[in-house]
Amino acid sequence: MTGTQNLEREAKWGKIWGGGWWPKVAAFCWLMLKWRILTWDKLQTRGINGPSRCCMCKGNNESINHLLDECPVVDSIWEKGATIYFKNHQHKGRLDITLEKCPIKVFKNKIVNRLWELLPGFTVWELWKTRNSRIFENKPGKQGKYGPS
């Protein structure tokens, strides 16, 4: 590994572990970026049978990238945030870059800056919790203006 690659790698993990996220959010993001989140595609490779459709859009097969980035329902959430926060959603399909490239300081107010720093990690964490409540607690999604959610 070259020095530049090592620095990039350290910056990514530093953003997660040094970002001040709650430990469970940081741990989830770490697992997500290591492709260790147990979505249906991962469970099926371990021989566990179950529904493979995304519980958010009810269309495509569930994978980490689909569930947290490419799903039409989730994409609408990222697009809303992108217009304000990321300026554009050019890293679609690359959760590692989405988390890594978020600007650190954009506002003059320290409290608002802190909220923006926490937003990406908490967004994927809340998406994961929503997915789990739909699957394990049988909570239906609401039909909103962004489709089934």
Question: Where do the domains of the chain lie?
Answer: 3-142
Q: Enter the DSSP assignment of 93.
A: T
The whole-number pLDDT of residue 146 equals 38
Quick one: pLDDT at residue 125? 92
- Tell me what pLDDT residue 128 has: 93
Paired tokens of 63: 């994978």
What is the reported pLDDT for 82?
66
Q: What angle do CA 24, 114, 32 make, to 5 degrees?
A: 30
Q: Quick one: pLDDT at residue 112?
A: 81
In contact, 112 and 104? CB cutoff 8 Å: no
- Indicate whether this model's pTM tops 0.85: no
pLDDT along the chain (149 residues), means of 10: 51 70 88 89 88 87 88 82 58 65 70 80 90 85 45
Q: What is the pLDDT of residue 149?
A: 41
